[in-house]
Amino acid sequence: MVYADKTLQCRECGAEFIFSAGEQQFYASKGLVNEPGRCPMCRQARKARLASSGALGEAGGERPQRVMHTAICAECGGQAIIPFLPRNDKPVYCSTCFERVRAATIG
């Protein structure tokens, strides 16, 4: 399909903006069928508002609770509480040892 630039009007601020052929092709590749109703500036402002209010999380509007896991620190042998499932092929560090190991690798 051949796409051509379209001029649309923002439903929020009323300004005209271009819905480019490239954007139309991107929308089609993602299966999106509706044209954008807001100009890029209003879209960005809306995303920022939603992110600051926490409304971009699950359907309830709040972020899901982070699941923490316990593991044994590869450096000191103490308990490490981490936000991911540990794998046997990668070392896991407690927060104190992690900072020390990271500082040693960075420089």
Return the number of other C-beta atoms located less than 10 Å from residue 71's C-beta: 17
The answer to whether residues 49 and 85 belong to one domain is no
The answer to whether residues 12 and 46 belong to one domain is yes
Q: Is residue 3 scored above 80 in pLDDT?
A: yes
The answer to whether residues 83 and 44 belong to one domain is no
Return the number of other C-beta atoms located less than 10 Å from residue 39's C-beta: 21
Domain that residue 23 falls in? 6-53
The answer to whether residues 46 and 75 belong to one domain is no
In a domain, 18, yes or no: yes
This prediction has a pTM of: 0.48
Mean pLDDT of 87-102: 89
* 29 φ/ψ angles, rounded to the nearest 5 degrees: -65, -25
Q: Please state, in angstroms and as integers, the Cα–Cα distance from residue 68 to each residue in 81, 82, 85, 96, 104, following that order.
A: 6, 6, 8, 17, 26
Domain count, the chain: 2
Mean pLDDT of 70-99: 90
What is the per-residue pLDDT across 11-47, written as a single tens digit (0 to 9) for each?
Answer: 999 999 999 999 999 999 999 999 999 999 999 999 8
In a domain, 26, yes or no: yes
